[in-house]
Amino acid sequence: MSRLDAWAKASGEARYVADMVLPGMLHVALVRSAVQHGRVRRVDSEQARAVEGVVGVFTADDVNRNTYGRSVRDIPILAGEKVRFVGERVAVVVAESRRAAEAAAALVEVEYDDLPAVTSAEEAIAQGAPLVHDAPWEYAGAAISQEDGHNLQSRVTEGSLTEVEAALGGAEHVVDRTYSTSSGHQGYLEPQACVASVEDGRVRLWVTNKSPYRLRTQLADCLGLDPASIEIEPVLLGGDFGGKGSPMDAPLCVELSRLVGRPVKLVLRYVEDLTATNPRHPARIHVRVGCDREGRLTGMALRALLNGGAYGGFKPLADVNLHGIEDCAMAYRVPALFVESTIAYTNTVPRGHMRSPGAPQAIFAVESALDELAAEAGLDPVDLRRRNLPRTGEPSSHGTTWLEARGLETLEAAVKHARTEQPEVPPGWRHGEGVAVYVRGLPGPPVTSVRLVPAPEGRVRVEVPIPETGTGSHTMVRNRLAAELGIDPEQVEVVQVSTEELPIDPGVGGSRVTVGMSEALGRAAEAWRRGGGDEPVAVELRPGDSAASAPVVCYCAQVAQVAVDPVTGQVKVLEVLSSVDVGDIINPAAHQMQIDGGAVMGYGFACLEDLFEEDGQFWAANLGEFKIPSTNDLPRLRTVLVEGGQGVTSANVKPVGELANVPTAAAIANAVAAATGCRIRDLPITSEKVFWAIEEESAR
């Protein structure tokens, strides 16, 4: 079954925000901070104003001084007295053409008084470190208080350290290791863009944002507007991976349109996307984990320290943290567990969400540590995992008893299939196999809304609140509704409508779309059938409307096969096999794409991706330098579906979007360790890290 968006994308007919043109529209270019931390002494825009076509040059003095954010509201529309990272918006030029705007922006001179800066999380939380924000606890939505410590965005703890200490004290084997991961970027292809039009107090926006209803609230909160006066228009998104959830430059564009009285358009240059939007948090994760003589885990303490950058407002959760870290040990039975996740303010680009936020980092650490523990205990790594995966009926390490726990089956299927076909290893290279496991819970109860409208020729038009981000979600909606109504999918039209048309939706993210939409479409179809299909039907799922979601989880186990050239340290990932715990599958092709795409992203995180952060700046400022995998690099991808799982909603589905990208890095690191005897604890696993590790090992 073809994808709804396939033809338009393949033929070039698809229109993105950057393609938008409105009558009288002006263009925006940003002047960004050249220093990590400094007081803005003077902004000289005289030369810029003289450029032909320039309509205005604006600074913080001209725009609303309120700060904004998805949770904590700590982001200024334009930096006022001080700048907090290289790349922060300091001034902005509005002109008749993009060319004039950019030429003028280059002529704006900003003078700074440098302030001492902190560019790593470790530095930031040290006693006496310079403060990124003087009183971060005062921001609306702050998740910390003054007593919590220095330069904190957030600190979350779970479990009792005392209990873990006792458990580890009595353990037969303990490993104590630190792992780290680098800064990465979502790597969507479409740059962030925004077109804003303010006319007679009415705001209309076309923006690369996947949560339009939340964006409306965020804008209203910041600009003091009535949400009803803001309309977010439907758009097609060219990739997201978590990077398109924040308001980004929307508040600024609204202010600019108000100031100049004409529509404005801002399209970032990709270098701005890479260096100045909301990339992934780099992490340092300290794990102590112990087991008894039989290899049963007795306790684990995990402490993660993440660099959150200059602002926390691009993170949507109320605790301004990353739940992937908090859920780091969910896959196993861990009698005593302590988790601490700290996100620090630094003078670097603000960090945001990226596909399964926090989990790739945390699972890399935990699943690597488990292999190290297995080695310590003289156990086979698969065996160690077998002994610690909870069975159905047993509570997980976080206390919940799930409807079913299919970790063991998922792992066994992975190992069995991986070993039936061994990949070919180049002569002289060393082969290694590595395993890693991840489990993910369900998103909260579905909240969304849809409307079914009769269309000509007996067709049904379904109006949805969410944009197509490139995952095929609109195709899923079409197929699901067709199945519910028992009609041909060709009879269903799917359209995203503006925020005027539907009441509520939390946006795309958290693997919630298929689950939420399935529930809403199920109800809508029922009402439609009852009404005979002549009248529009609207369905609205508000918080509290659906019973709390059943405690359903989905496991994913991956086996990586690598070949390592002992001469150069080069790592070839030959195969990644993903074994996935599934319920029913609505669109097999889209489902498979999530698994394959996930494994590819996991591979990139493991072996390639690094923004090369140094002194608070990224050196990999284009897609040539920031290395996401090319087709030539891809390992062979295989999938085993562990079918028959119990999902949710009448469609019996389990989410899959944020699964297969998570365990890959640990599986590869474990495979490299199996091949070489060398453990790489710092991602990405580059040739030279492996090379030096082998050298050191052989020198010993």
Partner 1 sequence: MRDVGYLRVGDTAEALTAAARPGARLIAGGTELVNLLKERIEQPDLLVDISRLPLTDITVGPDGLHLGALARMSDVAAHPEVRSGYPAIAQALELSASPQLRNMATMGGNLMQRTRCPYFRADHDLPCNKRRPGSGCSAIDGDHRAAAIFGASESCVATHPSDLAVALVALDAQVRTTARTLPARDLHRLPGDQPHRDTVLDHGEMILGIDVPVSPPSAYLKVRERGSYEFALVSVAVAAETSGGVIRTARAALGGVAPKPWPLDVDLAGVPLRRDELRAAIAPAFAAARPLPGSEFKIELAQRAVVRALTKPIGLMGET
3-class SS string, 261-325: CCCEEEECCHHHHHHHCCCCCCEEEEEEEEECCCCCEEEEEEEEEEECCCCCCCCCCCCCCCHHH
What are the strands, taking DSSP E only, across 456-568? 459-464, 492-496, 537-541, 553-564
Which C-beta is closer to partner 1: that of 428 or that of 532? 428
Nearest distance in Å: CB 190, partner 1: 19
Which C-beta is closer to partner 1: that of 542 or that of 636? 636
Nearest distance in Å: CB 104, partner 1: 13
Dist CA 620 CA 642 (whole Å): 39
**Which tokens in the block code for residue 48?**
């810029």
Report residue 145: phi and psi, to 5°: -120, 170
Dist CA 93 CA 90 (whole Å): 10
Nearest distance in Å: CB 266, partner 1: 18
Dist CA 323 CA 243 (whole Å): 16
Nearest distance in Å: CB 471, partner 1: 25
Which C-beta is closer to partner 1: that of 34 or that of 140? 34
Place of tokens 């949805």: 464
Dist CA 126 CA 129 (whole Å): 6
Structural contact between residues 181 and 683, judged by C-beta atoms closer than 8 angstroms: yes
The SS3 of residue 454 is strand
Structural contact between residues 697 and 677, judged by C-beta atoms closer than 8 angstroms: yes
Nearest distance in Å: CB 511, partner 1: 29
Nearest distance in Å: CB 568, partner 1: 6
Nearest distance in Å: CB 604, partner 1: 9
Q: How far is CA 152 from the centre of its chain?
A: 21
R_g (Cα) of the chain, nearest Å: 26
Which C-beta is closer to partner 1: that of 137 or that of 692? 692
Q: How far is CA 624 from the centre of its chain?
A: 22
3-class SS string, 127-173: CCCCCCCCCHHHCCCCCCCHHHCCCEEEEEEECCHHHHHHHHHCCCE
Structural contact between residues 191 and 270, judged by C-beta atoms closer than 8 angstroms: yes
Nearest distance in Å: CB 688, partner 1: 5
Cis-peptide, bond into residue 684, ω within 30° of zero: yes
Dist CA 401 CA 493 (whole Å): 40
Nearest distance in Å: CB 228, partner 1: 41
Which C-beta is closer to partner 1: that of 25 or that of 34? 34
Nearest distance in Å: CB 106, partner 1: 9
- Interface residues toward partner 1, by CB under 8 A: 34, 103, 271, 426, 567-570, 608, 612, 614, 619-622, 624-625, 627, 629-633, 686-688, 691-692, 695
Helix 359-377 and helix 664-676, axial crossing angle in degrees, nearest 10: 30
Which C-beta is closer to partner 1: that of 149 or that of 566? 566
Which C-beta is closer to partner 1: that of 162 or that of 568? 568
Which C-beta is closer to partner 1: that of 544 or that of 624? 624
Which C-beta is closer to partner 1: that of 151 or that of 347? 347
Nearest distance in Å: CB 34, partner 1: 7
Nearest distance in Å: CB 53, partner 1: 14
Which C-beta is closer to partner 1: that of 127 or that of 631? 631
Which C-beta is closer to partner 1: that of 117 or that of 207? 117
Torsion of CA 524, 525, 526, 527, to 10 degrees: 50
Place of tokens 């007795």: 298
Dist CA 111 CA 221 (whole Å): 32
Nearest distance in Å: CB 79, partner 1: 17
Nearest distance in Å: CB 363, partner 1: 23
Which C-beta is closer to partner 1: that of 348 or that of 579? 348
Which C-beta is closer to partner 1: that of 438 or that of 618? 618
Q: Which residues of 486-501 are buried (b: 16+ CB within 10 A; e: fewer)?
A: ebebeebbbebbbbeb
Q: How far is CA 592 from CA 7, 279, 418, 580, 595, in A?
A: 20, 26, 18, 10, 5
Structural contact between residues 264 and 256, judged by C-beta atoms closer than 8 angstroms: yes
Nearest distance in Å: CB 648, partner 1: 39
Structural contact between residues 319 and 327, judged by C-beta atoms closer than 8 angstroms: no
Which C-beta is closer to partner 1: that of 43 or that of 256? 43
Nearest distance in Å: CB 630, partner 1: 4
Determine which helix (DSSP H) or strand (DSSP E) holds 95, and give its type and residue range.
strand 89-95
Query: Among candidates 351, 350, 343, 323, which has minimal Cα distance to 125?
Result: 343
The SS3 of residue 538 is strand
Which C-beta is closer to partner 1: that of 127 or that of 632? 632
Which C-beta is closer to partner 1: that of 342 or that of 347? 347
Burial of 158 (0-12, 13-18, 19+ CB in 10 A): middle
Report residue 338: phi and psi, to 5°: -130, 130
Dist CA 54 CA 65 (whole Å): 24
**Which tokens in the block code for residue 2?**
């073809």
